């Protein structure tokens, strides 16, 4: 019985080593909510601000703009805030800056 348990535990450890695991970036969402309280008041603000689909690999136009501005796995709140500012200066397909939408309390990204 002990061998069976040991093999099962070893198998689970091996399987977890080869899976991507959770890639959550709670610091990004926290800084977004702090920086844009009006957006939080008017909308449900979660990871869908940048990732509209079920897969976190999917990004909307705002998510792509932010991705260009911030280092992967950035933890420094100041750098995340600077990346939010930089992404805000970019424009969506309609020619509006993301910052203008955020200032109006709207979600910046498209649902596509």
Q: Across the chain, how many H-helices and E-strands are there?
A: 6, 0
Q: CA–CA separation, 22 vs 27, rounded Å? A: 14
pLDDT in tens, 37-74: 999 999 999 999 999 888 888 999 999 999 999 998 89
Q: What is the mean pLDDT of the chain?
A: 85
Using 50, 70 and 90 to split pLDDT, how confident is the model at 21?
very low
Domain boundaries, the chain: 23-103
Query: Which residues, 6+ apart, have CB-to-CB distance to 77 below 8 Å?
Result: 27, 30, 31
Which bin fits 29, alpha (ψ -120 to 50), beta or left (φ > 0)?
Answer: alpha
106 touches 98 (CB < 8 A) = no
pLDDT in tens, 72-107: 889 999 999 999 999 999 999 999 999 999 999 999
Q: Containing H/E element for 3?
A: helix 2-18
> Residue 23 pLDDT > 60, yes or no?
no
What is the mean pLDDT of the segment spanning 5-18?
58
């Amino acid at each position: 019985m002990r061998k069976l348990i040991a093999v099962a535990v070893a198998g689970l450890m091996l399987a977890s080593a080869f899976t991507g695991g959770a890639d959550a970036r709670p610091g990004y969402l926290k800084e977004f909510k702090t920086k844009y309280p009006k957006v939080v008041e008017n909308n449900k603000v979660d990871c869908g601000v940048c990732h509209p689909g079920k897969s976190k690999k999917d990004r909307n136009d705002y998510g792509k703009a932010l991705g260009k501005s911030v280092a992967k796995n950035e933890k420094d709140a100041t750098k995340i805030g600077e990346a939010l500012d930089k992404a805000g200066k970019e424009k969506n397909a309609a020619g509006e800056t993301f910052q203008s939408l955020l200032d109006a309390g709207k979600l910046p990204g498209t649902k596509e």
